[in-house]
Amino acid sequence: MKTIDRSEISEFEKVYRLNLINSLSGYKSANLIGTQGTSGENLAIFSSVIHLGSNPPLIGFIMRPNTVARHTLDNIRSSGVYTINHIPKSIIEKAHYTSAKFDEDESEFEACGLKAEYKDDFIAPFVKESPIKLAMQIKEEVPIELNGTILMIGEIQSVHLEEKILLADGQLDLNEAEIVSISGLNRYHLPKEIDDFPYARKEELPNFKT
Amino acid sequence: MKTIDRSEISEFEKVYRLNLINSLSGYKSANLIGTQGTSGENLAIFSSVIHLGSNPPLIGFIMRPNTVARHTLDNIRSSGVYTINHIPKSIIEKAHYTSAKFDEDESEFEACGLKAEYKDDFIAPFVKESPIKLAMQIKEEVPIELNGTILMIGEIQSVHLEEKILLADGQLDLNEAEIVSISGLNRYHLPKEIDDFPYARKEELPNFKT
């Protein structure tokens, strides 16, 4: 095994360090966040969407205020709402390029060939091509002073999904929807289920001691 | 498409809601967190490990103080350190059962058939079977008042990994290491890379307008 210590990490060239540290948290979720601002629609890819709790239904994501995602932050602050759209295999290249630096009045939907979709009276745009879409209301911005990022916490207002991926127990068949995951900065993966296990009880522990 | 609104989510039976909301953030990382306490070693599975920043190298995870993970929290508070170990396909069942409720003086390593490994003078145990292991120092606990969870933020002190999975640009080949990802509460997946794309520049945008 190779060991890399803290001082080596500090001394790495910037892009190498970005690549390494971004890989070290494992596979990440892949989502497009849609917002509405005074200059129009915005869409940006995020790999930091995370489950925070089910009751109330809370989802978080990490915002880096000094990046191109700034428009997303401004729009959430002004409108209070956003959409989270899962990324299927069929649109990964289009989704990836939403991370390019577009002007404020340019729509990433149009530039990247994705269709904006509106539902009911929710003002933030959904991604039509996405099989799982969430309407979100911002509940809290939690500043992370250690590095100037923000944990954005939102509550799920509604869920829109393809009926065939909703399983009888409430879980989703993400494989069936061909949802992807991301590793590092730019690597896209298609996960395939290998197994599931029941709720873990000590009394029902398999015999692991050999 | 099926729509589920906020009031329906509130009315779902508890386990159904847990299953659904835990599925809605997409694929999650799969890690074992190892700690050392006055009653011995502790090991617990987490699916909320998240990248926070690369310089300084920060990783977070979500702690639910009222769950069996309480021993992990106590040990991090008393020792200041922990390990994050990626889960390869070969140990998913053992890793899953670390979530059972063991007594404080029982070792999940022993009960679940995993080997504790110590490196240098770091007091928290690593998982020998894991191909990517991180030594972490806690930097901040960020309370999330909306639901009583805590964002635990740690700084990477050292990285231990199989040499063959470290790519030339610093990214890791998680496929080669057979690292898994989790969806919902108990579904384990093996991701397979489908593509990667360069850093996105507007001037180099593919022609998506058809």
Nearest in space to A29 (alpha carbons), one of A56, A6, A52, A2: A52
Q: Where are the beta strands (DSSP E) in A39-174?
A: 40-46, 50-54, 57-63, 81-86, 116-117, 126-127, 132-144, 149-161
Contacts of A160 in chain B (CB under 8 A): 1-4
The per-residue pLDDT for range A66-84, each reduced to its tens digit, is 776 788 999 999 999 999 9
Contacts of A190 in chain B (CB under 8 A): 191-192, 194
Q: What is the mean pLDDT of chain A?
A: 95
Q: Return phi, psi of residue B119, to 5°.
A: -130, 135
- Which pLDDT value is given to residue B65? 78
Contacts of A10 in chain B (CB under 8 A): 55
What is the ipTM, given to two decimal places? 0.95
Helix (H, G, I), strand (E, B) or coil at A6: helix
Helix (H, G, I), strand (E, B) or coil at A120: coil
- The 3-class secondary structure across B70-107, one letter per residue, is HHHHHHHHHHCEEEEEECEHHHHHHHHHHHCCCCCCCC
- Percent of chain B's residues with pLDDT above 90: 90
Which amino acid makes up residue A8?
Answer: E
The per-residue pLDDT for range A1-59, each reduced to its tens digit, is 999 999 999 999 999 999 999 999 999 999 999 999 988 999 999 999 999 999 999 99
Q: Which residue in chain B has the smallest CA separation from A48?
A: B50
**A145 burial level (CB within 10 Å; 0-12, 13-18, 19+):** exposed
Band of pLDDT at residue B68, cut at 50, 70 and 90:
low
CB contact under 8 A, A163 and B112: no
Phi-psi region of A80 (alpha: psi -120 to 50; beta: other; left: phi over 0): left
